[in-house]
Structure 1
Amino acid sequence: NCVIRGKLSANQIEGDLVKTVGKAFPRDSRAPKRWPSGTITVRVYDDQPFNRQIVIPAVAFSGARHERENSDTYSSCRLIVRKNGAEIYNRTAMDNTLVYSGVIDMPAGRGDMTLEFSVSAWWVNGWYPTASISDLLVVVMKKATAGITIS
């Protein structure tokens, strides 16, 4: 434990200036091809004296179009994201790929942050859906602009 009242340069830092965690979305095992189904809950504790940012790099999810003689049917994949219980994203992919990414500020002293990522998939005619979603990656870092300029 020490306090540095000046400038410190370091090439190797141990600690939690940046933390990352990744997880695959749950799957429904009722079908031979398991489809995305379930919720991942992320809790970031307000245990640091500095402001932080939570970064969610791209999460890609997609459904599929199934061509039939008389009409096409679709497998759908929906992603819902909630921040402290409030919905901040809700989209459904059918025959396309959608992407969610986000940057969420977490000021120090304002309490823990809970993020929920819920995925579901279905096919309108009751068949097993053809849907996919990439893994979730969460990056938590100290919020600072020192040494960075954007113009």
Structure 2
Amino acid sequence: SFSLRLNVAAEDGSDRLVSSAGTPDTQYRFRGLTPGRYTLTVRAVNSQGQQGDPASTQFSIAAPAAPSFIELTPGYFQITATPRQAVYDPTVQYEFWFSDARITDIHQVENAARYLGTALYWIAASVNIRPGRDYYFYIRAVNQVGKSAFVEATGQASNDAAGYLDFFKGQITESHLGKELLEKVDLTEDNASKLQQFSKEWQDANNKWNAMWGVKIEQTKDGKY
């Protein structure tokens, strides 16, 4: 069996006993713990009640630290935000907020920015995310205890003109030229019908892009995405 003692660090630097217990199992659950820094000491106990040498470990129950680094990866009409912690913590995820304009008062993020979701990283995707201008992510770490402060990150979509042409390859239709052509070309009934169909297809595609404000990507239990 095992003898367990759980101490928490007090404000004066001393340790205060929170709980002590004995168990024949290799697992034990402490309940009702409040935020703080804890030290768990375990001793093996034989059938005569003799105890072995103690083994100790420390752990904290606290809201996570703010992300130490945020990587922004540009794409075509999209930006991928990937936060990092200074020390890896598997219990941490991130809240993602997005804004077209910089928010000077970090305390106003929840009022002024758009909430995207909670995940390990996020792809903000929309035809409204265009090259040549700044967009702002506000990201904070979260766990079951609480949330960190927000961290700001500024990024832009890709400015690769050739890449955008490849991206739209096959999607540029007569509808893009319709207004100019109507001034110069006397359309037959058949051509006018085709132009209307092209215009409808492009509008449908554009609406789908506008609906793709965010793509949530979470980590599965086996560590894959």
Higher RCO structure, 1 or 2 (CA under 8 Å, sep 6+):
1
Fold match (TM-score > 0.5): no
Larger Rg: 2
TM-score by length of 2: 0.24
Larger proportion of strand: 1
TM-score by length of 1: 0.32
